[in-house]
Structure 1
Amino acid sequence: MNLCEKVQKIQNVLNVKKSRHNEFGNFQYRNLEDILKEYKKISKEYGLLLWFDSEPVRIGESNYIKATCYVKDVETDDILTSSAYAKEPPTPKAKMDESQCTGSATSYAKKYAFNNLFLLDDSIDPDSNQNVDNGAPANEATIKTIEELCKKHNVNVQELYKRRKIKGTPTALQAALILNKFKKDFGDE
């Protein structure tokens, strides 16, 4: 079995539940440690070595951490890689110093580099056919999170809703897309 076939086998069996809960954003998630714990359970039988590399990069006016996930077949020395970026916040987040923010961005980038390589996905692709708005309203905790994030990042919530053609309360899907945008733009979990 070659490296691509081994990775494909892992892609088909690796399942990591979102067993952690974020009180602030009211959502379930999994962290890098959860993912690696499950990966280690199955990778040994395929003879794969996994490691990460990370580096700071400047893109435009912003600092990012670029993480690369490497998987090497110990029998053939063949290597596959995947990279992902996480934006560092311009100022440290509440209760975090600068090094903790960099560490958080590094973990986040590593998680997504791994997810890309092994096809773990955290959200519905906005362009997929699964992304259908059933009209269900967003819950109060989600709306409150959006309002708090708008305040934190000096975004006018009414203008945000207007740009997204939301009249009144956003649907659950609209709210999820807004939260994904904050996560992408500002690194908010």
Structure 2
Amino acid sequence: MHSQTIKKENKILKQDNTDWLNASIYEKLNLIQTGLVSLKDQTNVFGDFNYRSAEQILSLLKPFLEITGTVIVLSDEIISVNNRNYVKSIATFTDGSLDEEGKQNIIQTVGLAREAEQRKAMDVSQLTGATSSYARKYALGGLFAIDDNKDADSMDNRDQTHHNGAEVKGDGFVTIEQSLKMERMSRDKYTMPNDAAVLKSIAEDGYVISEAQAQIHINDFLAGQKQNKPVSKSQKEDLVGELVSLKKDKRINKEVYKNMTGYLEDSNYSHKAVASVVDGINKVKKEGEIKNGK
């Protein structure tokens, strides 16, 4: 199950055309928090309970870290409280970018676990190592918002149910992969509000639409998402440079420059806003060519 989940996450990430390398650190974290699924699919045969491990979480993280250009660093320290030792684990998430003050952008969470006084069949080093694993698991869980909800990717398709428990109707109807994609799209911050409402309604109705209809919705809403997503860093820099140049040459006045840059900043340089501003720039250039007799 664990290896199957990794393969499916890899497939979904490869189908995403977003330029995640140039996204903000919080956008990258949001992708991981909404996409990472780590089930308690390991069993303790002595205590008869299921659990997840820090190592399992790290394995599932790797595809996300690769596509977003981010790293996760784990560090431990021992602290003493009332003569009992605790392992304090710090999970640090970063993409190497710098903030406006030139400091590295990082996001951190902390996990604590207390060492047992003794544990059968474990020496001191093993005891500390096991406690560290617990603390790291808690730190990672807090950072990446890992919960116990089942995701369609983590379910055995032989159950023939969607992520919300709705029955898969069979051939010609919404597939499990489609329902998973639509569920994620409904939670994506770049999905237009009306589109998200439609997706949630489809889920509430039990995914009774056809496979073809589902794919039409997915394609249409992905196009809408793209309009809301920011352009790459290089595109942003090129556009700002062109606006500055037009202002310097007095081909646009200060008010127009302010309106254009303000519009871009308010939209976080979305594809839609950039296309609109580029259209305006082209009109300015064309008018200049006409005036100059070109």
C-alpha displacement of 1:61:
2.5
- Structure 1: distance between partners of 2:79 and 2:148: 24
Of 83, 95, 111, which residue of structure 2 is paired with 1:73?
Answer: 95
Q: How many residues align?
A: 122
C-alpha displacement of 1:23:
1.2
Give the match for residue 171 of structure 2: none
C-alpha displacement of 1:122:
5.5
- Structure 1: distance between partners of 2:29 and 2:89: 19
Give the unaligned 5+ runs of structure 2: 1-22, 99-103, 150-294
SS in 2 for 1:78: strand
Of 26, 30, 34, which residue of structure 1 is paired with 2:52?
Answer: 30
Q: Determine if contact 2:91/2:136 at 8 Å carries over to the other structure.
A: yes
SS in 2 for 1:71: strand
Give the match for residue 95 of structure 1: 121
Trace 1:148-159 onto structure 2 (pairs within 5 A). Answer: none
Q: Determine if contact 2:39/2:148 at 8 Å carries over to the other structure.
A: no
Pairwise CA RMSD: 1.5
Q: Determine if contact 1:69/1:81 at 8 Å carries over to the other structure.
A: yes
Amino acid at match of 1:84: G
1:71-105 CA distance string (max 9 Å, x none): 11124331000001100012x20000111000000
- Structure 2: distance between partners of 1:119 and 1:20: 19
C-alpha displacement of 1:17:
2.0
Q: Determine if contact 1:57/1:66 at 8 Å carries over to the other structure.
A: yes
Give the match for residue 179 of structure 1: none
Q: Determine if contact 2:32/2:144 at 8 Å carries over to the other structure.
A: yes
Give the unaligned 5+ runs of structure 1: 124-189
SS in 1 for 2:132: helix
C-alpha displacement of 1:34:
0.9
- Structure 1: distance between partners of 2:82 and 2:142: 24
Of 2, 26, 41, which residue of structure 2 is paired with 1:19?
Answer: 41
- Structure 2: distance between partners of 1:55 and 1:121: 26
1:92-123 CA distance string (max 9 Å, x none): 20000111000000111011101100011359
Q: Determine if contact 2:72/2:92 at 8 Å carries over to the other structure.
A: yes
Question: Residue 54 and residue 122 in structure 1: after superposition, are their counterparts in 2 closer, same or farther (change >3 A)?
Answer: farther
Please report the TM-score for the alignment, with normalisation by the length of structure 1: 0.61
- Structure 2: distance between partners of 1:42 and 1:82: 18
Give the match for residue 65 of structure 2: 43
Give the match for residue 105 of structure 1: 131
- Structure 2: distance between partners of 1:75 and 1:24: 46
Q: Determine if contact 2:38/2:60 at 8 Å carries over to the other structure.
A: yes
- Structure 1: distance between partners of 2:125 and 2:111: 19
- Structure 1: distance between partners of 2:94 and 2:86: 26
- Structure 2: distance between partners of 1:106 and 1:122: 22
Amino acid at match of 2:32: I
Q: Determine if contact 2:75/2:90 at 8 Å carries over to the other structure.
A: yes
Q: Relative contact order (alpha carbons < 8 A, sep ≥ 6): 1 or 2 greater? A: 1
Give the match for residue 17 of structure 2: none
Give the match for residue 115 of structure 1: 141
- Structure 2: distance between partners of 1:59 and 1:81: 22
Structure number, greater radius of gyration: 2
- Structure 2: distance between partners of 1:43 and 1:27: 30
Give the match for residue 32 of structure 2: 10
Of 52, 55, 78, which residue of structure 2 is paired with 1:56?
Answer: 78
- Structure 2: distance between partners of 1:38 and 1:106: 19
C-alpha displacement of 1:29:
1.2
Give the match for residue 154 of structure 1: none
